[in-house]
Structure 1
């Protein structure tokens, strides 16, 4: 029997599951893809989504629409993605460590196992920022005020269990201080609060506060090393505070998304993340690219879970 290329292809397509999977991939997307953001418009996560969406459209050959569903530190949006039909048409933005910490701290509407990683896109260390009129010009000043007035100095974040909040938890533990934690639904609300002098300290990431520096003073940041964008801002570690914290922001799909569709999403996202236009946009926002393929990213995240569980047992942050 002579095996020809045509007969080999026919035999391959006849194999169980192969033809339906290929047909599904070829049809995808057959309607707009929703990219769900768990915070209000104008924040860092929202801007990441709006930067990558048109680049992803070009690679997928279909429309990508950003949908904002703020609430509960991103839980509302992630829960909606976890419950969505797993066909690749509903994706969600994620923030680390919230993706892992929210299900640890409470009976959340999602778990990390509800998702498949598409890709991590950026990394953005936390920063400690005050109003320019604040009498506090350094971390030493802020910590001195907190020690002098326990549970009176306010610290604003985007939600319980978010990177902003865990920065506060770890900082309080490392410095033996106690702040009042005040929660907002997104970056714009945080900026309004600090500029209006409604809160004392802002725990937002370095990217957003560097892109919107008017009337603000950033006194420290929580990266492992100083940022190339703000080399004048010292790290907490340099100041003797052993805390490193930041936001990793990526994209997930429902866990049961067909492998062929997930592979297409991962390939398209990887190509979009390497687009010079995406790099240019991140640079204008003082944000570092942090691309990591979905499979490798989720393997790493699973390895981090135990550390956050241990932190929760030692310092249950929902109570701070």
Structure 2
């Protein structure tokens, strides 16, 4: 080998090392500033509470601050778009909410695509449910069906946004029962629960984990889990009532696409450690929510299956007009 060739190769190798060094340093010092965790709904709802609980434990594992940022609107699209546009340096994360995460790009020209994100992990699951005011004349699902058929389009149903799990539960309910309700979208579960208590809506689509803490302020008439919830064992499932609805909210953690593999690995390990923490699991249970940890690759398979399922539903029941 000539001296010239050796020198050139040495210089190229040194250049490669100098380019790699900043990336290695960024991964070693991550997080180097507060992490922003975006939530697409108003404070006080299930997604917001999950995010705030998770953020505290993630801080411990990563050794840095995690700040929850609420950007409500468009069924969560505004917050997700903010994450999709952010630098993929691990300092901007987002909480997704199924099925809205996959249904928004199906129903409209969205500000993000599913492949704009690095999927970190799914965190929790929470079944959809229909609730009414304590003194509502609607005491059962049968009462709701009768009232809706007697007054088509007049019974009001509040959801946390078009394409959310509670809205799609309504779409499936209307199809299964031959009814039509008046759908009203809210900016989050907190405002929706307030509207139900104030009798501004007849029925609210709140998750079990959002409805149970309301105590005597509301009454759950049915929930859309595969089985009865241990948090509301006296509430029947729609399937028990021979109405074929199964729907719920899954909340996961995403980062912008292109996340440095070293940072991605550190973040994944931190999330896994959170789910090994008894105190965190106890907090989730206190929120009447089921821990449903699935690391990125396994969660990706579930997202793909859900995307296919909801695209099929869209073809037969386009819900944006519901």
Q: Does TM, scored on the shorter chain, surpass 0.5?
A: yes
Does 2:305 align with 1:299? no
Partner of 1:65: 67
Distance across 2 between alignment mates of 1:204 and 1:215? 13
Q: How does 1:235-246 map to 2 (within 5 A)?
A: 235-246=237-248
Match of 1:195 among 191, 194, 197: 197
Distance across 1 between alignment mates of 2:80 and 2:231? 31
Partner of 2:208: 206
- Does the residue aligned with 1:150 lie in a helix, a strand or coil? coil
Q: How does 1:21-36 map to 2 (within 5 A)?
A: 21-36=23-38
C-alpha deviation, 1:19, in angstroms = 4.8
Per-residue CA distance 1:130-149 (angstroms, 9 max, x = gap): 00110111000011100111
C-alpha deviation, 1:283, in angstroms = 1.4
- Does the residue aligned with 1:297 lie in a helix, a strand or coil? helix
- Does the residue aligned with 1:295 lie in a helix, a strand or coil? helix
Q: How does 1:195-234 map to 2 (within 5 A)?
A: 195-234=197-236
Distance across 2 between alignment mates of 1:287 and 1:217? 18
Does 2:44 align with 1:42? yes
Distance across 2 between alignment mates of 1:38 and 1:215? 25
- Does the residue aligned with 1:161 lie in a helix, a strand or coil? coil
Partner of 1:259: 261
Q: How does 1:57-136 map to 2 (within 5 A)?
A: 57-136=59-138
C-alpha deviation, 1:84, in angstroms = 0.5
Distance across 2 between alignment mates of 1:177 and 1:164? 16
Q: Is this contact kept in 2: 1:52–1:273, CA < 8 A? A: no
RMSD: 1.5
| Count of residue pairs brought into register by the alignment | 308
- Does the residue aligned with 2:143 lie in a helix, a strand or coil? helix
Distance across 2 between alignment mates of 1:127 and 1:71? 22
Change in Cα spacing, 1:175 to 1:94, as seen in structure 2 (3 Å) is same
C-alpha deviation, 1:280, in angstroms = 1.2
C-alpha deviation, 1:18, in angstroms = 6.2
Q: Is this contact kept in 2: 1:116–1:298, CA < 8 A? A: no
Does 2:161 align with 1:159? yes
Q: Any gaps of 5 or more consecutive residues in structure 1?
A: 1-10
Structure 1 stretches of 4+ moved >2 Å = 14-24
TM-score by length of 2: 0.93
Distance across 1 between alignment mates of 2:99 and 2:108? 14
Q: Is this contact kept in 2: 1:131–1:194, CA < 8 A? A: yes
Distance across 2 between alignment mates of 1:43 and 1:17? 44
C-alpha deviation, 1:23, in angstroms = 2.2
C-alpha deviation, 1:20, in angstroms = 4.7
Partner of 1:8: none
- Does the residue aligned with 2:215 lie in a helix, a strand or coil? coil
Per-residue CA distance 1:189-222 (angstroms, 9 max, x = gap): 1111100101000111011100112221111100
Distance across 2 between alignment mates of 1:35 and 1:24? 19
- Does the residue aligned with 2:124 lie in a helix, a strand or coil? strand
C-alpha deviation, 1:274, in angstroms = 2.6
Distance across 2 between alignment mates of 1:78 and 1:298? 17
